[in-house]
Structure formats: structure tokens, C-alpha cells
């Protein structure tokens, strides 16, 4: 049986994949903080649902909807979840194919903070720049 926070995170990825913003709105804390590393137009720290949703929307716009996350594994406990992912997308003749780690802080059944960690930060910056 999976930890409840693993189930919560899986629901979030499924909602993102299908564009189900209502479910993401339910799963995200109002004051969620989203850390996107790098030196590119998606990099930065986003605070609150509006900023995070705008960042996710821009991701899909920049990739023409080709951005996809394939889950390899999710490790979860009472306060955190760590996801091992394969991120892929196409943009302006460039391809992204990166093993990524995403770390979540979870409190009271809500995602409160996220940190993204691409395996190749330089390649990620090149793709998103």
C-alpha cells in the first residue's frame, strides 16, 4: 500500500498531464512556493497558486504542449515526496530528454513547496532559453 503522500503526488502529475487545473488547485496550498532552477525564462521562485499556474502554462506554451513527465519512482513520507522523472519536450527544433528529480514539501494534505533538479542544468537552460 502506497503512502498517502505518494498518492497525492501521483494525482498531481496526472492532473498536470491532462490539464486538470481544478485538481491541481485542490492539491496546491494557497501559498505554495515553486523553485525552478537555472538561467532561463522559466527559472525563478514562484509564490502562490497564480504564479505557479502561470509558470506551468508558460511551460506548455513554449513547448506547444509537448512537455511530458514519465514517473520512474515516488518516495514519500509524512512531510515530503521525491519523484524520479524523465522530462521530455520539443521546442524550436530542440529536444529535452532529462532525468529530473522533484522534491515536494507536504503539509495537511497540500503541496506547499517544490524544488526541481534537472540532471543536466546546462542542457535544461539551453532548451528553455
Residue 73 confidence (pLDDT): 98
Residue 109 confidence (pLDDT): 96
* Number of domains the chain is built from: 1
Taking CB atoms within 8 Å and a gap of at least 24, the contacts of 122-126 are 123/96, 123/98, 124/37, 124/38, 124/40, 124/96, 124/98, 125/38, 125/39, 125/40, 125/43, 126/94
Domain enclosing residue 100, as ranges: 4-128
Residue 1 confidence (pLDDT): 79
Please report, in tens digits, the pLDDT of each residue of the chain (129 residues total). 789 999 999 999 999 999 999 999 999 999 999 999 999 999 999 999 999 999 999 999 999 999 999 999 999 999 999 999 999 999 999 999 999 999 999 999 999 999 999 999 999 999 999
CATH of the domain at 31: 3.10.450.50
Residue 14 confidence (pLDDT): 97
In degrees and rounded to multiples of 5, residue 78 shows phi and psi of: -70, -20
Give all strands (DSSP E) within the chain, no chain letters. 28-36, 44-47, 68-76, 80-91, 94-107, 110-118
Amino acid at each position: 500500500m502506497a503512502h498517502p503522500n505518494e498518492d497525492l503526488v501521483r494525482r498531481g502529475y496526472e492532473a498536470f498531464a491532462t490539464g486538470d487545473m481544478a485538481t491541481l488547485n485542490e492539491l496546491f496550498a494557497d501559498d505554495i512556493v515553486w523553485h525552478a532552477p537555472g538561467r532561463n525564462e522559466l527559472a525563478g521562485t514562484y509564490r502562490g497558486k497564480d504564479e505557479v499556474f502561470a509558470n506551468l502554462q508558460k511551460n506548455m506554451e513554449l513547448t506547444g504542449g509537448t512537455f511530458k513527465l514519465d514517473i520512474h519512482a515516488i518516495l514519500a513520507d509524512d512531510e515530503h515526496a521525491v519523484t524520479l522523472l524523465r522530462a521530455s519536450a520539443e521546442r524550436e527544433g530542440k529536444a529535452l530528454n532529462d532525468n529530473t528529480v522533484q522534491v515536494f514539501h507536504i503539509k495537511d494534505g497540500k503541496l506547499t513547496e517544490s524544488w526541481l533538479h534537472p540532471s543536466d542544468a546546462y542542457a535544461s537552460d539551453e532548451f528553455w532559453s
